[in-house]
């Protein structure tokens, strides 16, 4: 079955520990204008292919989101990713537009959230998250399309979800 309804796709990204899963859970529980999906639920080691920018994983999710969109509701896909990983996918043709949002926070806050909040002791994981968080803050406006940022350092999860919801509904209102 070939998807025939073209809707926008919203991609919410951010480093591990920045608050995206918590925010997406809040959106998932309360929203009726779109469908929220968490990309980590389908992750398998076979998708760990940084050499091709995780292409099979991105294609799988974009195809799945296109099929879910056939319900008439757009999808908000939560997980790590940047535009260059999605815009090149064959399944990109199934969407009117792809919109990117990333959650970021101060480095100290991120490290505290990972170490104390999530109990992560793997220094490589922590440094990788810090590096991606810093990359997003420095490069979000230079990606194509640009990534909108929400700094979660001083926001509650509910406030973060409120800002994300405003961003999503603002775009949907203008579509």
Q: pLDDT tens for residues 150-164?
A: 999 999 999 999 999
What's the pLDDT score for residue 3?
Answer: 67
Name residues whose C-beta falls within 8 Å of residue 159's C-beta, 6 or more positions apart in sequence.
none
CATH number at residue 161: 3.40.50.300
What's the pLDDT score for residue 44?
Answer: 83
User: Around Cβ 132, how many Cβ atoms within 10 Å?
Assistant: 20
Express each pLDDT in 85-136 by its tens digit: 999 999 999 999 999 999 999 999 999 999 998 899 999 999 999 999 999 9
Residue 9, SS3 per DSSP: strand
Beta-strand (E) ranges in 16-72? 35-38
Classify burial at 73, counting beta carbons within 10 Å of its beta carbon; exposed 0-12, middle 13-18, buried 19 or more: middle
Task: Please report whether residue 130 resides in a domain.
Answer: yes
φ and ψ of 8, to 5 deg: -75, 160
Task: Please report whether residue 2 resides in a domain.
Answer: no
Task: Please report whether residue 1 resides in a domain.
Answer: no
Q: Beginning with the edge strand found earlier in the chain, give each strand of the sheet holding 75-78 in spatial order.
A: 35-38, 75-78, 7-14, 95-104, 147-151
| Mean pLDDT of the region 12-26 | 93
| 21 vs 14: CA distance, rounded Å | 10
Number of structural domains found in the chain: 1
Express each pLDDT in 27-51 by its tens digit: 999 878 899 999 888 888 888 888 9
Task: Please report whether residue 157 resides in a domain.
Answer: yes
**Token pair 């579509």 is at which residue?**
175
What's the pLDDT score for residue 1?
Answer: 64
pTM reported for the whole predicted model = 0.93
Residue 3, SS3 per DSSP: coil
């Amino acid at each position: 079955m070939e998807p025939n309804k073209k809707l926008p796709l919203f991609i919410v990204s951010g480093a591990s520990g920045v608050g995206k899963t918590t925010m997406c859970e809040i959106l998932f529980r309360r929203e009726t204008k779109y469908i929220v999906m968490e990309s980590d639920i389908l992750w398998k080691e076979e998708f760990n292919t940084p050499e091709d920018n995780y292409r099979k994983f991105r294609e799988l999710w974009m195809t799945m989101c296109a099929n879910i969109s056939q319900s008439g509701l757009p999808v908000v896909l939560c997980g790590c990713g940047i535009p260059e990983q999605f815009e090149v996918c064959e399944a990109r043709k199934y969407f009117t537009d792809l919109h990117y949002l990333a959650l970021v926070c101060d480095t100290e806050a991120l490290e505290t959230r990972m170490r104390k909040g999530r109990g992560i002791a793997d220094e490589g994981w922590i440094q990788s998250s810090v590096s991606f968080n810093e990359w997003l803050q420095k490069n979000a406006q230079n990606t194509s399309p640009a990534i909108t940022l929400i700094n979660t350092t001083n926001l509650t999860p509910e406030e973060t979800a409120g800002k994300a919801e405003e961003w999503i509904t603002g775009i949907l209102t203008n579509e």
